[in-house]
């Protein structure tokens, strides 16, 4: 290429330099994505006994798996079941996301979800989920947990909190009707439902939806009991609503129909309102 004054210059293209810059940026973006993916990975931490069993290829012999998602669902199991002191903590799942929060006395990772096994009947497993699990972590959590469980004769019961504001109906819904239960189950579930099915166009979302879909694909009997409440945070009335969902658990675990006031006070506390909507 020659200039106006006849000077010969080597050919130059900005496209080459731009392509090199794009490659550098793509590599940097890829590294950031990989680091973020590693940080958001779900990890299962089992007790030494369970870990040794899993290493030898023996999965957890579980016939009844009860999963509680939300403050009231987890509070119900803590008050009416785990307070009997007949349960051993056998593991927890650790994860991190932008909405992770810690529970008093535990780090945000350790308190994401905790697994308990009944001492007299080890085939009964309870999991309390007190943390938000992001959409990109739902498949990880579900796959890793169910890979540790024996699927034969397994029945999953999910207790899930939901706001009554999310409930869609053509009829007038008075405040006195809340809290109430709705159910959704897999095609292989043959148990008796304790409430009516979830009406369209209402849907189940988050972890309950992920595990229910997993169970449908793998032909595992599963049912989700979703409790719609008009109260934000832990509430005794909402907790008691879940009793009907586990009325048949008496055959393998004892449900405390009248927990002590001290036990209830431990889980019913004033929650911080993080919205200024009513200020």
pLDDT tens across 184-228, in order? 999 999 989 999 999 999 999 999 999 999 999 999 999 999 999
Express each pLDDT in 104-156 by its tens digit: 445 445 556 899 999 999 999 999 998 899 999 999 999 999 999 999 999 99
Q: How many CB atoms lie within 10 A of CB 217?
A: 9
- Residue with the bigger pLDDT between 183 and 251: it is 183
Question: What is the predicted pLDDT for the residue at 272?
Answer: 43
Question: What is the predicted pLDDT for the residue at 137?
Answer: 94
Question: What is the predicted pLDDT for the residue at 188?
Answer: 96
Question: What is the predicted pLDDT for the residue at 257?
Answer: 58
Q: What is the DSSP letter of 70?
A: S
Question: What is the predicted pLDDT for the residue at 92?
Answer: 94
Percentage with pLDDT > 70 across the chain: 74
The CATH superfamily label for domain 48-100+108-267 reads PAC-like subunit (3.40.50.10900)
Percentage with pLDDT > 90 across the chain: 51
> Per-residue pLDDT for 48 more than 90?
yes
> Per-residue pLDDT for 276 more than 50?
no
> Per-residue pLDDT for 273 more than 50?
no
Express each pLDDT in 229-246 by its tens digit: 988 788 888 998 998 888
Residue 76 exposed, middle or buried by CB count within 10 Å (0-12, 13-18, 19+):
buried
Which whole-number Å values give the CA distances from 217 to 186, 198, 211, 272, in the listed order? 9, 20, 10, 39
Question: What is the predicted pLDDT for the residue at 104?
Answer: 44
Q: What is the DSSP letter of 2?
A: B
Question: What is the predicted pLDDT for the residue at 219?
Answer: 96
Domain spans in the chain, listed from the N-terminal domain onward = 48-100+108-267
Q: Residue 70: phi, psi to the nearest 5?
A: 115, 160
Question: What is the predicted pLDDT for the residue at 266?
Answer: 62
Tokens describing residue 151: 């699927």
């Amino acid at each position: 290429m020659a200039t106006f004054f006849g000077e010969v210059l080597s050919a130059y293209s900005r496209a080459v330099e731009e392509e090199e810059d794009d490659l550098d940026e793509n590599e940097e973006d890829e590294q950031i994505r990989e680091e973020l993916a590693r940080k958001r990975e779900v990890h299962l931490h089992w007790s030494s006994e369970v870990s040794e069993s899993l290493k030898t290829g023996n999965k957890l012999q579980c016939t009844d798996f009860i999963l509680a998602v939300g403050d009231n669902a987890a509070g119900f199991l803590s008050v009416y079941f785990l307070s009997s002191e007949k349960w051993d903590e056998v593991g927890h799942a650790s994860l991190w996301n932008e909405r992770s929060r810690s529970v008093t006395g535990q780090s945000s990772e350790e308190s994401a979800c905790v697994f308990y096994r009944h001492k007299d009947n080890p085939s009964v497993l309870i999991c309390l989920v007190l943390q938000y699990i992001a959409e990109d972590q739902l498949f990880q959590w579900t796959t890793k947990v169910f890979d540790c469980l024996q699927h034969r004769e397994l029945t999953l019961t999910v207790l899930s909190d939901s706001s009554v504001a999310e409930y869609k109906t053509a009829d007038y819904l008075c405040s006195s009707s809340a809290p109430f239960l709705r159910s959704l189950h897999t095609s292989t579930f043959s148990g008796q439902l304790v409430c009516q099915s979830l009406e369209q166009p209402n849907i189940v979302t988050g972890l309950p939806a992920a595990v229910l879909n997993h169970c449908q694909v793998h032909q595992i009997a599963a049912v989700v009991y979703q409790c719609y409440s008009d109260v934000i945070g832990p509430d005794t009335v909402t907790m008691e609503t879940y009793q009907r969902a586990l009325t048949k658990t008496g055959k393998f675990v004892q449900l405390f129909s009248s927990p002590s006031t001290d036990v209830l006070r431990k889980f019913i506390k004033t929650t911080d309102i993080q919205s200024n909507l009513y200020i």
